[in-house]
């Protein structure tokens, strides 16, 4: 598992499980405690999480709430979104889709020119 970023946005990759939970918890708590406003967790590169990893996310969510902040999950992979729905945690957590690509960037990717 690896976490990159600062007190406003973190990118989490690899596996968030029982082996990485303590390190992840420490990084998330530090980020929550040292910033203001939303704390965005980009999970685009997260391969998997287990119940312990999900507990770390929920703990960070609660801690952020106590600090007057909001934990926002961005780029949640589909299989993890299904787990959040199955456990009804999608009703508690703030889950944001990846922002859509800018029209020019999308046009360049498709090989056309935006007007």
Residue-wise DSSP of 37-59? S-EEEE-TTEEEE-HHHHHHHHH
Per domain, the residue ranges of the chain are 2-110
Q: Quick one: which of 24, 60, 20 has its CA closest to 40?
A: 60
pLDDT tens digits, 7-21 = 789 999 999 999 999
For the entire predicted model, the pTM comes to 0.79
Give the homologous superfamily in CATH for domain 2-110.
STAS domain (3.30.750.24)
Quick one: which H or E segment has residue 104?
helix 103-110
pLDDT tens digits, 39-84 = 999 999 999 999 999 999 999 999 999 999 999 999 999 999 999 9
The tokens describing 24, both together, are 């992840």
Q: Quick one: which of 37, 44, 55 has its CA closest to 95?
A: 44
* Rounded CA separation 55/40 (Å): 17
């Amino acid at each position: 598992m690896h976490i990159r970023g600062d007190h406003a946005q973190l990118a989490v990759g690899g596996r968030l499980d029982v082996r990485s939970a303590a390190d992840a918890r420490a990084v998330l708590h530090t980020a929550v405690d040292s910033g203001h406003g939303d704390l965005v967790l980009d999970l685009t590169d997260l391969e998997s999480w287990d119940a312990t990893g999900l507990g770390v996310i929920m703990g960070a969510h609660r801690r952020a709430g106590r600090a007057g902040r909001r934990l926002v999950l961005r780029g949640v992979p589909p299989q993890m979104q299904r787990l959040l729905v199955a456990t009804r945690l999608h009703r508690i957590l703030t889950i944001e889709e990846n922002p859509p690509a800018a029209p020019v960037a999308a046009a360049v990717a498709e090989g056309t020119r935006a007007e």
